[in-house]
Copies of this chain bind each other. A is one copy, B any other.
Amino acid sequence: MLYQKLYDYLCDQIKQQHYLAGDKLPSIRQLAQLHQVSVSTVIRALEELEDRGLIEARYKSGFYVKAEEFRPELPAKSQPLVSLKPSLSKDVKIHQLASEIFHQCGAPNVVNLGTSYPDPSFYPQKELQRIGTRLLKQKMDDILQVHFTSGYLPLRQVLAKRMNRSGCHISHDDIIVTNGCLEALSLCLKAVAKKGDTIAIESPGFIGLLQLIESLGLKALEIPCLNDQGLSLQALELALEQWDIKALALVPSFSNPSGSLMPESNRKQLVEMLAQKNIPLIEDELIADLAFDGALIKPCKAFDQKGLVMYCSSVSKTMASGLRVGWISPGVFAKEIAYFKTFTNISASNFSQMLVAECLSSGLYDKHLRQLTKKLAKQVHYFQRLIKQYFPEETEVTQPKGGSVLWLKLPSNILSFSFYQKALALGVALIPGKLMTATQKFDQHIRINCACNPDIDVEYWLQQLGQLAFDMQNETH
């Protein structure tokens, strides 16, 4: 097998110390060109080296040779591979810890930079109050009476219109309203996978999705995200060849926590790649409206020819998380999803649906978005500047072009869970990277939400956190 040749070659190179501990290997693309093999062959060889403890992958950076003391005895030649299948598709077990951490984020007297919902001051409070008061006055009958449908019709109509503006071709009949985006994701997963099945996800991944996968007894196969492109299509290609994957779930726009934005060409390619193998895509676009430059982003759904893309979204990041309004454009899975939705809870609150419909169709939502994205951009840049100013130089921080979260890599030897604990002792809550994975990756990473309560003295707290990072760095050196 080609990858074994490459594996043997790299093994020898490391053994003969052509690459020393700490050295960076050539990039995947370079290795592919150098050895005239496919990208997936390179990835498989690198995974084998990583599995055997010779190299380590560093997020958004590359592959590095491990120090000798951390390596197992070096085999001269690679052994015939046993299937990697069981070791790669993981049971997820983050719920317990996630609950504890989110509980701390919401505790009184804790400065919450953890949860990624924006503070309500970022929501269009006055507009919603005005619309809500009018609805209570004029439409009480509609508000009080449950409807056995896929959702409030004017809401489905305006959602379809907005999706079509972004390049989709759907009607209001292709929309099912849910109680928030998590319910949407849950219904999609139920429609395509059963207990024990494997779902491919981004790595680092969205915590709620990982928890859902855990709660449904599914397994997660984590596909790396490279640089600012989001999900690596090469890694996905390899995964699709090697494993039985029931669906891919991802946040293509301003992914939480990496902030990466998948380019349009990649979206097209992704949808085609999945369509070829008839694998459904669960697309979570709830942050897509939050591009700092106000750009209209074409969702993967826009490239969906076969109806395999289940588009999910909500207004939780833009308008109100407490209203619990989300939706799905379910493609060919419409029947199953509508059925599961009915027997989850019949429908979402009418008032919430009517409020969102009115806010969207009146133009108030778009007006609000223009202000909100400016405000978020300013806030995110402010956090970035302060992190650069107060944290150790080695700290790496993402440069998202939308959304509200930053993903930090702390200096080597600072474990982010320990950093989380010490920060909490100071009075500030963050999210450690171990919640974003079912494996042991990201234990140097933390997520910070910049859309925090305006009463928080951000500079003071980031200075405190920076000092903590310095202290921990010095302790362990």
A186 contacts B by Cβ under 8 Å: yes
- Cα-based distance from A179 to B351 in the complex (angstroms): 13
Q: Which residues of B contact A322 (CB under 8 A)?
A: 142-147, 349-351
A332 contacts B by Cβ under 8 Å: no
- Closest residue of B by beta carbon distance from A325: B349
Q: Mark A72-116, 1 if CB is under 8 A from B, else 0.
A: 000000000000000000000001000000110010000000010
Q: Which residues of B contact A362 (CB under 8 A)?
A: none
Q: Is the CB of A344 within 8 A of B186?
A: yes
Q: Is the CB of B136 within 8 A of A343?
A: no
Q: Which residues of B contact A19 (CB under 8 A)?
A: none
Nearest CB of chain B from residue A13's CB, rounded to whole Å: 47
A132 contacts B by Cβ under 8 Å: yes
Total identical chains: 2
Stretch at the interface among A117-125, A197-205, A253-261, A394-402: A117-125
- Give chain A interface residues in 349-388, CB to chain B under 8 Å: 349-352
Q: Is the CB of A321 within 8 A of B136?
A: no
Nearest CB of chain B from residue A336's CB, rounded to whole Å: 11
User: Dominant SS at the A interface?
Assistant: helix
Q: Mark A137-168, 1 if CB is under 8 A from B, else 0.
A: 10011111111100000000000000000000
Nearest CB of chain B from residue A185's CB, rounded to whole Å: 10
- Cα-based distance from A178 to B349 in the complex (angstroms): 12
A345 contacts B by Cβ under 8 Å: yes
A41 contacts B by Cβ under 8 Å: no
How many interface residues does A have (CB within 8 Å)? 55
A418 contacts B by Cβ under 8 Å: no
A316 contacts B by Cβ under 8 Å: yes
- Cα-based distance from A103 to B150 in the complex (angstroms): 12
- Closest residue of B by beta carbon distance from A347: B324
A346 contacts B by Cβ under 8 Å: yes
A180 contacts B by Cβ under 8 Å: yes
Q: Which residues of B contact A323 (CB under 8 A)?
A: 143-144, 349-351
A413 contacts B by Cβ under 8 Å: no
- Closest residue of B by beta carbon distance from A122: B144
* From B119, B212, B346, B348, contact of A182 by CB (8 A): B346
Nearest CB of chain B from residue A218's CB, rounded to whole Å: 12
Nearest CB of chain B from residue A407's CB, rounded to whole Å: 22
Q: Is the CB of B144 within 8 A of A321?
A: yes
Q: Mark A325-353, 1 if CB is under 8 A from B, else 0.
A: 00000000000000110111111111110
- Cα-based distance from A102 to B148 in the complex (angstroms): 8
- Give chain A interface residues in 182-241, CB to chain B under 8 Å: 182-183, 186, 211-212, 215-216
The answer to whether residues A324 and B106 also contact, given A136-B132, A180-B345, A182-B343 and a CB cut-off of 8 A, is no
Nearest CB of chain B from residue A376's CB, rounded to whole Å: 16
The answer to whether residues A136 and B144 also contact, given A349-B322, A351-B323 and a CB cut-off of 8 A, is no
Nearest CB of chain B from residue A191's CB, rounded to whole Å: 13
- Closest residue of B by beta carbon distance from A125: B140
- Cα-based distance from A125 to B128 in the complex (angstroms): 21
The answer to whether residues A140 and B148 also contact, given A322-B350, A345-B178 and a CB cut-off of 8 A, is no
Q: Which residues of B contact A350 (CB under 8 A)?
A: 322-324
Q: Is the CB of A123 within 8 A of B148?
A: no
> What are 13 A-B interface contacts by the 8 Å CB criterion?
A103-B148, A115-B148, A117-B146, A125-B140, A129-B140, A144-B322, A146-B324, A179-B345, A186-B343, A186-B345, A345-B345, A348-B349, A349-B352
* Contacts beyond the supplied A115-B148, A120-B141, A143-B322: 12 A-B pairs with Cβ under 8 Å: A103-B148, A119-B145, A143-B320, A146-B322, A147-B322, A179-B179, A180-B345, A182-B343, A182-B345, A322-B351, A324-B350, A352-B352
Q: What 7 pairs between A and B have smallest CB-CB spacing?
A: A146-B321, A183-B345, A349-B349, A179-B345, A322-B350, A215-B343, A144-B320
